[in-house]
Every structure is written in C-alpha cells, then in structure tokens.
Chain A
Amino acid sequence: MLSYILRRLGAGLATVLLMTVIIFVIVRLVGDPAHLMLPPEATEADRDLFRQQLGTADPLFTQYLRFLGGLIQGDLGRSFRYGVPALGIVLERLGPSLYLTGVAMAFAVGLGVPLGILSAVRPGGIADQAGRLFAVLGQSAPPFFFALLFIRFFAVELHWLPTGGYGGFTHVLLPALALGWYSAAGLMRLTQANMAEALNAEYIKMARIKGLPEHVVILKHALTNAALPVITFAASQFGILLGGAVSIEAVFSWPGFGKLIVDAISQLDYTVVQAAVVVSAALFIVINLVVDLLYAFIDPRIRYGR
C-alpha cells in the first residue's frame, strides 16, 4: 500500500513538472509585461532594462532552469506587479477559496446525495419530483444568476445575511449556496442513477431475502455499490470549483483563487500564474490520490487486483 502511494506521488510530481513546462511557455506567448506595465512613452532601452530586472530577457530555457531551481527551494519568484513572493500571494488566496469550496461541497453532498437516494428508492415520489425541479434549476441557470438572486432576496430585502465580503459563516453562506447548487444537482442525478442500478442487482434481492431491514438494504448494500462514481464526481467538482468560482468571487467580492488567476493572467504577472498553477496542480493530485485510496478502501476487487 505504501509503495503504491509513493508511486502515485512520484507520478504526481512528474505531472506537476509537465504542467510547469506547459504553463511556462503558454504564459509567455500571451504577451510581454514590459509593454503592459511600462507607460507607452517608455523607450525600447527602458523596456530592455525592465525585462532584465524581471528576468524575462534571458533565453526561455535559462528562465525555466532558474524557475526549477527556485521551485526546489520553495521559491516561485516575486510577483511582477507587487514585488512580493508569488507563492505567498497564492497561498493567501487559497485559504478563502478552500473555505468557500468546502462549504459549497458540503452543501452539494449533503443535499444532492440524500435527495438522489430518496428519489431512487421511491421513483415518482415527492423527493423525486422536488429533486427533479431542483436539478433542472441548478443545471440550467449559471451560478452568478443565483448569486444575484440570493443577494437581492436574503441580503437586500430580508437583511439576514451580508451582501458580500470575506468573513465567517454568515458571509460564506450565500456564495457557497450559489456555487454548490450546480454540483448538488449533478450529484443528485448521478446518485439517483447509480442507486437505481444498484437496487436492481441480484445481491439486493438476496439482501431482502435474508430478511435485512430496508435501511440496511439501501444504505449498506445499495449505497456502497453506487458510491464510487459519486465520489469521483464530487472530487472533480471540488477541483473545478476551487479554481472556477471566478464569477461568484466577483459578485460577492470574495478574495479567492479564481479571481487571482484571472487578474494575474490579464496583468501578465507570469510568476503569480506559474505559482497558482503549481499549487492547484498539486492540490488536484492530492485530491485524486485520496479518491483512489477511497476506491481501494470501498472496493476489495481494486484493492486485491493490484
């Protein structure tokens, strides 16, 4: 088991390195910060000087080696714009992003999975009908639409919750609901489909023949078998929401990761973009590893097949 984890971490490291190469090249294709950051009346000599200060005047390969050297020491360079370490800027935004995404996913899993189970157990029942409506709403409207709706209703009309800004639970509630709704809808549908399939299996018939109470049949025998795709989807949603919550972060002025990346790209702040990519790639790898370990924990055929 340990050798498997180590092997996976090694492969993950290789993935991160590959990602850095790609992003290193791509970000330099977008534009030259010397043009963007210096005033238009600056001379070509001024720009060269600026490039030398940033380090972008060197050949691409030299720049990359320097970047790798720093990476090993945990130094991802200084932000072109703010002059402070890029990694610090990224990590500062990561906390609020993890907080927002965590609450959003808790809401999505806590609502989507039980609704999915209920609607699979009683097709056409109240949970099925309500869940269907909920899923259609969640999957057809963009998150920022709900965000504006929520602000209007819960913050402006009712004064229950703040309209935006970073803070405690009252602050995170509305952005998390708006952000998690889409995932909740997806989780509900996926849980329903997989539960319906599992409930048709012969071992479910056998569980009932054995005289097990219905809640054991559903929660132990069916749900465990339906869990794997649901876990995969939840994990991928977590990763997507972490960096993809730009519109929600903008609407609620939440100091998140997604907005940082968009700003850094538009400002051609190479080092911040690179740092953000390294951090999010590492996060993805950890999430995937956790999912794979969960798979092996749930399904003995995966555990012993290795």
Chain B
Amino acid sequence: MTEILRVENLTTRLSARDGSAAAVDGVSFSVHAGRTLGLVGESGSGKSLTCLSILRLLPPSLSQAGGSVWFKGENLFDKSPRAMTAIRGGQIGMILQDPMTSINPLFTIGNQVGEVFRHHRGVSGRRNLWAKAVETLRRVHIPAAEERVGSYPHQFSGGMRQRIAIGMNVGCEPDLLIADEPTTALDVTIRLQILSLLREIQTARAMAMILVTHDLHLVSRFCDEVAVMYGGRIVERGPVARIFQNPAHPYTKGLIGAVPKIARHAERLAVIPGQPPLAGEHGAGCRFAPRCAKAQPRCFAQYPDDRRFEDDRRAVACWDPEGLPS
C-alpha cells in the first residue's frame, strides 16, 4: 500500500491585529493509494483549512506556521509557486461544496474542462481541447457529452455540475483527490450517485482520496480511515470499522451517539452539550474539556499527547480514553 500523502504537524495560523491564533494546530495524518480518509468534524474545526493548506491556497488572512506536507515523498512546502501550480489540478484535485458557485458561469463547460489539459498536458488547439473535454465528460457520465460540451453551467442541474467539477479535477489523472463536502449542497437522491462516481474513478486508478464531511453515516459507508477533528486538532484517527465499533475519545463517542437511528425511538435526539471553541479562544488544555462529561483538572491544564494503540493503527489524544488496553 503506497503512501501518497503524509501530513506532519501541520499548523495554520489566523493573523489578526491583536496577535494570531492557530486554526489548524499540529495536524498529522496520511493517505494511501486507493484508500479514502474521512476528515470529520463540526463547522470551524479546521477541516477545510487543512485541505487548503495542503494545496497552499490559504486565503490572505491565514498563514502557514509550521509542519510539512509530503506528497509522493516530496515536501510541498519546499516547492516553488510554479511547481505548485503544476501539482494543483495535475496531481492533486479538489472538489468544492457547492457546484452552483464553483464553476465560472461565463464559459462553456468544454472550455473549463479543456483548459486543464491546456495548462497541464500542453494540449493546444480548440478541437483537441474539445475532444479531451468530451472524453472527460463521458468519464463522469454526462449524457450526450458531444452535444453538451458547448453548453454553459446554468444549463445543468446541481448534480450534473458536480460531475463536471469532478471531471475538471480528475481529467489529468491525479494521485490524490480532496473532496470538501462534495454532496452537502446536493439533493439527497443525487448524493449517492456522486459518491459512487467518486468511488468508480478512485478504483479505476487507485487514487487516494480525502473526504471532508460532517456526515458520519457517509464516513462509515465510504471511507477506509477516519480522522476526527475538534478545535483545529485531530482528536482521534484510525480504521473506520474499529473507531465506529469502539470509539476511544469522548468526542468521537458523542458524535457517533448523536447520529439519529430510525429503529430506535428515542424521545430526544442525543446531543453534545455546549459549543465548539473558536480559534484562539481555548486554554492550554484539551479543547473538548469544557464539554466533556469526564473532564478532570489535568484535562484543562495540559493538552494530551497522542496515544497510539492497536499496532499503531489508531491514535487518540485524551488523558482518559475509553476501552484502551492500558
């Protein structure tokens, strides 16, 4: 199993007038060829920023403060801006949440799919680019691709647009695809189709994938590994089956417990009380401590180190994890 991406101690800081705060704080994980990592967490937990950090596309208010991103054995943070441009879209693709806004409304989809081949593969000539676009659109199952290639984004439904966005990002056969909540903005009926398309493309070329989501159900069905983020840190990671069976971190446990089940007629939905912390607005200790039922004084005083277990395949950052062979 080839390791495609290894993120080590990634730290991203939000710079404000009164100092700065870490929005992503010492995040580490790795993704392997043909496998999918689910990156789970609430809004503002740093999932999307982690992904943008990998591509070095942080908005101006944020800056890279530390860590390294090893992509196929090379540190992306050592790359020149030019080399990064070649990697983006060529070797690493990324899909955004809302396909209604992520495609430029003023150009044909053939133009926008084709331009990827122009800049990454040196394909030139309108006819050749068009042919490449048609080929790509077929691969993401756009019906009647030859006729639709000259259409504009507003002539497609949301699901079709997300397929087009996927096409733009997998056309050059990347080794890694980051999908940032790719189905959140879509109709429920369309979600499964998009996910099975992603799986199909992944299997065809053993592509590594990061799936950012807050949908645990999706993770359990689609991902091989999962990393749970809270307050800019990864609190627990490991194989999906093991973590769902036996969550070690109280937050993971709470998340899994909060998924409503149709079979069980609970009077109230299970919730984790309280609100997640904002970047910089937490103490030195565990970020989850204020909401944790099991919190002890030392949880507030010091952030727990990662504990590795199950042959190093799992890790948890908790002073008192559950169900660990200690």
Contacts and interface: CB of A to CB of B under 8 A. Distances in A.
Interface of A: 201-203, 205-214, 216, 220-221, 224-225, 298-301, 304
Interface of B: 55, 57, 85-90, 93-94, 96, 98, 101-108, 115-116, 119-120, 152, 154-155, 165, 168-169
- Overall SS of chain A's interface: helix
A205 B86 CA distance: 16
Contacts of B102: 202-203, 205-206
A304 to B, nearest CB: 7
The 9 lowest CB-CB distance pairs between A and B, nearest first, are: A211-B89, A211-B88, A210-B89, A202-B101, A300-B152, A203-B104, A202-B102, A206-B102, A209-B94
A194 to B, nearest CB: 13
B86 A211 contact: yes
A213 B93 CA distance: 15
B85 to A, nearest CB: 5
Given A206-B165, A209-B89, A211-B86, 17 more contacts: A203-B104, A205-B102, A207-B104, A208-B57, A208-B88, A209-B93, A210-B88, A210-B116, A211-B89, A211-B90, A212-B116, A213-B119, A221-B107, A225-B106, A298-B106, A301-B105, A304-B155
A210 B133 CA distance: 14
A210 B119 CA distance: 9
Given A209-B88, A224-B106, A202 B98 contact: yes
B88 A203 contact: no
A202 B96 CA distance: 8
Contacts of A221: 104, 107
29 contacts: A202-B96, A202-B102, A203-B101, A203-B105, A206-B165, A207-B104, A208-B88, A209-B57, A209-B93, A209-B96, A210-B88, A210-B115, A210-B168, A210-B169, A211-B86, A211-B116, A212-B89, A212-B115, A212-B116, A213-B119, A216-B115, A221-B104, A224-B104, A225-B105, A300-B105, A300-B154, A301-B105, A301-B154, A304-B155
Contacts of A203: 101-105
A213 B108 CA distance: 19
Nearest to A299: B106
A213 B104 contact: no
A259 B169 CA distance: 59
Contact of A205 (B57, B115, B152, B169): B57
Contacts of A202: 96, 98, 101-102
A203 B106 CA distance: 11
A30 B226 CA distance: 83
A178 B155 CA distance: 46
B155 to A, nearest CB: 7
Contacts of A212: 85, 89, 115-116, 119
A151 B89 CA distance: 55
Contacts of A208: 57, 88
Contacts of B98: 202
B105 to A, nearest CB: 6
B106 A300 contact: yes
